[in-house]
Each structure stands twice: as structure tokens, then as C-alpha cells.
Amino acid sequence: MFLRNCWYVAACDHEVGQNELKPVKVLGEEIVLYRKSDGIVAALEDACPHRKLPLSMGRIKGDNVECGYHGLTFDCTGTCTRVPGAEKIPHVAQVRSYSIAQRYGLLWIWMGDAEKADPAKIFEVEHWGDPAWGVNRGESMTLDCNYLYMTDNLLDPSHVAWVHQSSFGNAAAEEAPLETTVGEDGVTVWRWMIDVEPAPFYAPYLKFSGNCDRKQHYEVRYPSHAIIKAIFVPANTGGEGKPYHEDVFLMDSYNFMTPVDEGHTKYYWFQMRNFAPDDEEVSRQFAKSVRGAFDEDRVVLNAVQKGMANMRTPNLDLKIDVGPLRYRRNLAKLIAAEEQQLAAAE
């Protein structure tokens, strides 16, 4: 069901305060996050090995976590350092620890073999820290659906014509054909729409008037991270392989889906833009509008989860599903290979 030797977002960095235990669930595993005295975040299995009380119901003691039931204490490696009343600490008195990395205001967790946890493998954000680019720091939300319905959605540019008619979509997005590119690290579905009306969300921010050429670039990389690129140039100046017009509008939307379990997904996002880098009002407007659009997706995907779980007849796949289906098949192969390697090691 899940690829484990990879990085997922566990929480926003600001969600883990000093002297605070933050419980999260990732890939069906209960985990507790906490911040050590040096500011670095640690992650432990959220269950004391004695009676399985969540450690998140305990308290922080220095750089360690103390169980709230009988005081067993664990350091950031998961090693038990104290068992009150015991002369010797049992060798099995330990919990799993997880590798954590902080990047882009997010806390990334490695769910697989700790020896393979390389922060260089975290999803790269091209223009992060570039003073010419603005950023609206996103939020997060929980969806009551499997994460693969979200990757389906983010490999489906056509849905904006019906789900996001007041923001990302309009009639221009209904019929234009899609192209699908399959790479080693994921799948991209894209298209140029030539000489069309700008979609409502983007129109106020364009530097030109009239119709536009628009590119939708929907890219999802394994295990479940996406970049959605919105490109707008004056009508009849765009197209694949052409240099961008000087008035080009660029917005890169980064979307990170963390499976909570088989039926729930935690969704994190932020956007970057090639204009108004220091304009807080633009960032506020972006954040509000994007949140509204994602709430529209949430309503649809929650209902899709229920519909697919209760279907009495097989669902129908369309030509627009080529990208999502290729992604699912390739991800399934990666998961199967990972499971085979784990079985061989045992």
C-alpha cells in the first residue's frame, strides 16, 4: 500500500513547539514529535513498550520523553534511559525512532530503513529562497480518502473545468487534449491551451490584457509529492519549446500528500510566484483562494472514496486517466520491489 524508503511530510515546523508533544500518524504508524533543547525535532514511536500508553500523553524531560503511566523515559534514539523502581533496564525497553529533516517550513520524516535516510532526496523546490519570487506559505488539511485518489486528482488538469469554475478553471479547460510524460521519478500530464480566456483566479495578476496562452503542468513524483505549474503568456506567444514572453505569469504550487492510513490523507501545500515577492496582501489573497479551491477538491475526493468503496458495478476509466493509471502502476511496482527486498533481508 505504501512506499517506505522515502520522505513524507510529518507536520508543519511551527506545529511542534518547545516542551510540546505532537502526535501524528503516518502510513498507519502512530508517532510522537517533540523539539529538543537545541531546537531539533525528534520522532519516536508513540507507544510505551510497557502498556502501550501513547508517549504523547506523557511529558518532556530535558531532551527525553517520560511516559505518563509509570515514568519510563526514552531519549531521541528510542533508548530507554530510566525505569523507576528497576535495578536494570530491560533490553527490550525501547521504541522506534525516525529520521527527521526540516525544509521549506515542513518537517520531513523517513519511514523506511534509517540507514537509507538521505536529506538530499527530499523534494527540491526550485526557487526557494530566490528574492525575485514570492511565496504564500500554505496550510494543511485532512481528507477522508486514500492518497491515490489525490494523486489521481493532481494528474488530471481537466477536472478544473468542472470542480474549480470560479478559480482555476473555465470552459477553455474542457476539451484541450492532454499529453503524458513518464519519467523515472514520476508522471507529468500537461497541455498548452492557445488563445483562451484566462481563468478567474489568475486574471487579476496578469501583466497583460485579453486572451492568453496557458500551460497546465501537473507532475506527481513518487511516493506522493506534486508540483503544479501554471504558465500564462499573451495570446499566440506560447507553446512548447518557445521562450517565455517577458510578461509571463508563473506560479508553482507544491503539494505533499502524506498517507495517514488507507482511508485518510494529510495534505500540505505552498505556492511560489514570479512577481510581488514582498507583497503580503497578494500572499494573503493567494492563500485564501487556494484554500477555497482545495476545499472544493476535498468535497469531491471524500465522496469519491465513499463511492469507490461501495460501488456495485466496475468504475469506468477514460482517456484522461492515462497519467493517473501509469502513475499507480509504476508506484505499485516500486512498492512490490521494496517488499521483496525486505522479505529477502529477513
Are 87 and 143 contained in the same domain? no
Residue 340 within any structural domain of the chain: no
The end-to-end CA distance of the chain, in Å, is: 20
Q: How far is CA 224 from CA 96, 124, 324, in A?
A: 24, 14, 12
Return the pLDDT at 146.
98
Return the pLDDT at 139.
84
CATH code for the domain in which residue 248 is found: 3.90.380.10
Which residues have C-beta within 8 Å of that of residue 210, sequence separation ≥ 6?
A: 234, 235
pTM as predicted: 0.95
Residue 106 within any structural domain of the chain: yes
Are 215 and 323 contained in the same domain? yes
State the total domains in the chain: 2
Are 234 and 304 contained in the same domain? yes
Residue 127 within any structural domain of the chain: no
Residue 128 within any structural domain of the chain: no
Residue 162 within any structural domain of the chain: yes
Residue 343 within any structural domain of the chain: no
Are 33 and 181 contained in the same domain? no
Burial class (CB in 10 A: 0-12, 13-18, 19+), 280: exposed
Are 88 and 146 contained in the same domain? no
Residue 111 within any structural domain of the chain: yes
CATH code for the domain in which residue 85 is found: 2.102.10.10
Are 164 and 309 contained in the same domain? yes
Return the pLDDT at 163.
83
Are 112 and 138 contained in the same domain? no
Are 50 and 176 contained in the same domain? no
Return the pLDDT at 262.
97
- Give the residue from 63, 93, 121 where a domain finishes: 121
Are 175 and 201 contained in the same domain? yes
Are 225 and 326 contained in the same domain? yes
Are 176 and 103 contained in the same domain? no
- Give the residue from 121, 156, 173 where a domain finishes: 121
- Give the residue from 121, 150, 168 where a domain finishes: 121
Are 214 and 90 contained in the same domain? no
Radius of gyration of the chain (CA): 23
What b-and-e string marks burial along 55-69, b requiring 16 or more CB atoms within 10 Å of the CB?
bbebebeeebbbbbe
Return the pLDDT at 235.
97
Return the pLDDT at 100.
98
Domain containing 199 equals 134-334
Mean pLDDT by 10 residues, the chain (346 residues): 97 96 98 97 98 98 97 98 93 96 97 96 96 92 98 92 76 83 97 93 93 96 98 97 97 97 97 96 91 91 96 92 97 96 85
Return the pLDDT at 200.
86
